[in-house]
Amino acid sequence: MIQTEALKSRLHGVITALVTPFRNGNVDFPALDNLIEWQLSEGIDGFVVCGTTGEAPTLCKEERIAIIRRAVEVVGGRVPVIAGTGTNDTRSTVAFTAEAASLGIDGVLIVTPYYNRPTQEGIFRHFEAVAENVETPIIIYNVPSRTGGDLGLPTLRRLAGLRGVVGLKDATGDLSRPLGVTNLLGDGFLQFSGHDATALGFCQAGGRGTISVISNVAPGLCAQMHKACFEGDIRQAQSIDRQLRPLFAALERETNPGPAKYGLHLLQRASPEVRLPLVEVMPETASALRDAFQEIAGKEAGDDIAIQPVV
């Protein structure tokens, strides 16, 4: 039986789209363990592993399985662990999702098929095939900037009726969408922002939280912002959001997760290493990240939110 209601009750707030740390070309599992523990200590509400930020396209199957298994083990049920399992091949997506579901994860995040540019009917049938063949909750991931196609509301309505489909990660940055989806599907359908710069507005408009890149490097601030938002302290949430603005901008200067990994390098928490065809950040981006961290650390906004990078 698919545990959809259990996931719906637990999945909220800021979910870190976790980087995959590398060391000399290999997955750095000790660094992964330490990142997870640090994130949890800072108040993060969950993890997505092996997603876009986790460089899934450059991970072999054995590495993805090992990362998922390790994350589930280290987290130990303290927060939900979601695995990115989507590809642009339906058969491969079904097979890998089924395998990932056997590892103790709480659900999967599946991107709409990319590169092939399927029609809306093709998108529906892709997810239908997954839903009919796996036993785990499914979150749909709509990121037109990477896939080359948008997920239409009529298609989303059909997808929401599939077995196991519980929600959507929306990375469009369009703040009209959460209200539109709520009007279409009701409050029970989970919506998560996939665009940090508009995440606060998304949550105010009906979102359940954010599947976040910036929380890799500023987990405490992100957790506090979401907590303030959902407790109705909008002034505090907006104050933290303003503090994060320089970091939002710095992280978007180059392709994710290069800047996020360099930020973790500044914080002495992981190597900046990425896998080709991604490359380490340019000097200008590195400088912007240093400046953003220094600006955040220099502002007073309450207890336990200062970021102290190595510069």
Element (H, E) at 145: helix 144-147
Select from 114, 102, 108 the least CA-distant residue to 11. 108
pLDDT digits (tens, 9 = 90+) for 68-80: 999 999 999 999 9
Query: CA 246, CA 257: separation in Å to the nearest integer?
Result: 17
β-pair type (26-27, 46-49): unpaired
Residues of the chain with pLDDT under 50: 300-311
pLDDT digits (tens, 9 = 90+) for 243-263: 999 999 999 999 999 999 999
> Under 8 Å CB-to-CB from 304, ≥6 apart: which residues?
220
Identify whether 141 is a catalytic site residue. Answer: yes
> Under 8 Å CB-to-CB from 11, ≥6 apart: which residues?
45, 46, 80, 82, 106, 107, 167, 190, 208, 209
The two structure tokens encoding residue 213: 């890149």
Identify whether 169 is a catalytic site residue. Answer: yes
Query: CA 241, CA 251: separation in Å to the nearest integer?
Result: 15
All structural domains of the chain: 4-233 (3.20.20.70)
Of the candidates 141, 227, 262, 299, the residue annotated as catalytic is 141
Query: CA 209, CA 198: separation in Å to the nearest integer?
Result: 11
Of the candidates 61, 114, 169, 227, the residue annotated as catalytic is 169
pLDDT digits (tens, 9 = 90+) for 173-189: 999 999 999 999 999 99
> Under 8 Å CB-to-CB from 191, ≥6 apart: which residues?
167, 168, 170, 178, 181, 182, 202, 206, 207, 208
> Under 8 Å CB-to-CB from 20, ≥6 apart: which residues?
27, 32, 49, 50, 54, 55, 59, 67
pLDDT at 11: 97
The CA-based angle 292-295-299, given to 5 degrees, is: 145
pTM above 0.85, yes or no: yes
Annotated binding-site residues read: 53, 211
Q: Please measure the distance between the N-terminal and C-terminal CA atoms of the chain and give it in whole angstroms.
A: 50
Q: What are the φ/ψ torsions at residue 144 (nearest 5 degrees)?
A: -55, -30
The two structure tokens encoding residue 263: 């930020």
The two structure tokens encoding residue 160: 């929401």
What DSSP assignment string belongs to 153-218? HHHHHHHHTSTTEEEEEE-S--TTHHHHHHHHH-TTSEEEE--GGGHHHHHHTT--EEEESGGGT-
> Under 8 Å CB-to-CB from 22, ≥6 apart: which residues?
28, 271, 273, 274, 275
